[in-house]
Amino acid sequence: MIQIVRLVAQRIALGLFTLLIVTLLIFLAVELLPGDFVDAILRQGRTQESVEVLRRQIGLDQPAYVRYFSWLTNAAQGDLGYSFSNERPVSDLIGNRLYNTFFLAGYAAAMAVPVALTFGILAALYRNSVFDRVVNITALSAISSPEFLAAYILIFVFSIQLGWLPSLAHIAIDTSLWESLKLLFLPAVTLTLVTVAHMMRMTRAAIINLMTSPYIEMALLKGVGPKRLILRHALPNALSPIVNVVAMNLAYLVVGVVVVEVVFVYPGLGQLLVDSVSKRDMPVVQAGCLVFAVTYIGLNLVADILSIITNPRLLNPS
């Protein structure tokens, strides 16, 4: 138990250190964007005096390292600053948008995880069969297709040709749950197509890898059937890599929604991030990137911890 606690503490410390490095990279990336908010607002009618006054008002006259440490300190206390565009707290701007993004990611995860595990188990059960080959070819095709291509194909087929589903995901505060699920079906399917292949292939590979273990061979000699062999003997011992890849793909669902939100004009955090980059609204851009980074690192940290808990052999690698 002490070894488990020590390993978990090491993973948490490593995650916090990684997050610190990511905050520096976020700030540097935003600093390297061409132009700034002053250039975007004043444009042609700017004068040297007006530029200096506006930069002083929003704090851009300070050195970069001073602004970084100020932003990092405030963010650690939950203060994400104020938007340059409308002078509202950034936390107010990203509140509903973050909920919308998590709702879409959760919707896609509820579709992707059961489908991936089911097809992964079936592909392992009927490996080297026609079903296995078809599933693998489909999975490789889905992995090779970028999100925007899958999104446009789905829009063309189900919105333009068939007219079954809307092509835009306009979600308001008063939109009912059923209507939201209908509006978000195509974006959720797009994310599902991209992520389900990774989880399915890992499930299949983990189970097949265990099929050569001595205890599996002993179970076969005792006459255990293929279905029971996989579900009762192989699957529980394959949980560690499966849980790991599921958690990593859930992290991708959250941070990978930017392209999908832009294509379907969905009012999520990704759409807000893109709009803020075009306006050079740096506090909103930094806050959006920070939220995505915290989510991604946090879910990967959860994946590491679950791998330790579900696979005690990691405590004794020798």
Question: Residue 58: what pLDDT?
Answer: 62
Yes or no: say if 202 and 122 are a contact pair by the CB < 8 Å rule. no
The token pair at 287 is: 């806050």
Contact 249, 112 (CB under 8 A): yes
Q: Which residues pair with 82 in a beta bridge?
A: 89
Q: How far, CA to CA in Å, does 5 sit from each of 248, 259, 309, 313?
A: 22, 39, 10, 15
Residue ranges of domains in the chain, CATH in brackets: 2-33+80-315 (1.10.3720.10)
Count Cβ atoms within 10 A of the Cβ of residue 203 and give its class: 0-12 exposed, 13-18 middle, 19 or more buried. buried
Q: Is 33 helix (H, G, I), strand (E, B) or coil?
A: coil
Is residue 123 within 8 Å of 136, Cβ to Cβ?
Answer: yes
Find, among 40, 90, 18, the residue nearest to 273 by Cα.
90
The count of other CB atoms within 10 Å of the CB of residue 2 is: 6
The Cα 169–Cα 174 span in angstroms is: 14
Whole-number Å distance between alpha carbons of 105 and 97: 12
Those residues with Cβ within 8 angstroms of residue 26's Cβ, 6 or more apart along the chain or in another chain: 286, 289, 290, 293
SS3 89: strand
Closest CA to 123 of 67, 206, 44: 206
What contacts 54, CB < 8 A, 6 or more positions away? Answer: 38, 41, 42
Closest CA to 250 of 288, 196, 316: 196
The one-character DSSP state at 268 is: S
Q: What is the total residue count of the chain?
A: 318
Give the Cα separation of 98 and 106 in Å (integer): 12
The DSSP code for 158 is I
Backbone angles phi, psi at 89, to 5 degrees: -60, 135
Q: What angle do CA 46, 50, 55 make, to 5 degrees?
A: 110
pTM for the predicted model, two decimal places: 0.75
Neighbours of 217 (CB within 10 A): 11
Q: So what's the pLDDT on residue 42?
A: 54
For the chain (318 residues), the mean pLDDT of every run of 10, in chain order, is 73 86 86 63 57 63 77 82 76 82 85 84 80 82 78 85 80 76 85 81 77 71 71 68 74 77 82 79 82 84 74 54
Calculate helix-pair angle for 90-125, 269-279, nearest 10 degrees.
Answer: 130
Of 108, 105, 113, nearest to 242 by C-alpha is: 113
pLDDT of residue 238: 67
Calpha distance 68→75 (Å, rounded): 10
CA 121 to chain centre: 24
Q: What is the pLDDT of residue 7?
A: 74
The residues facing 89 across adjacent strands are 82
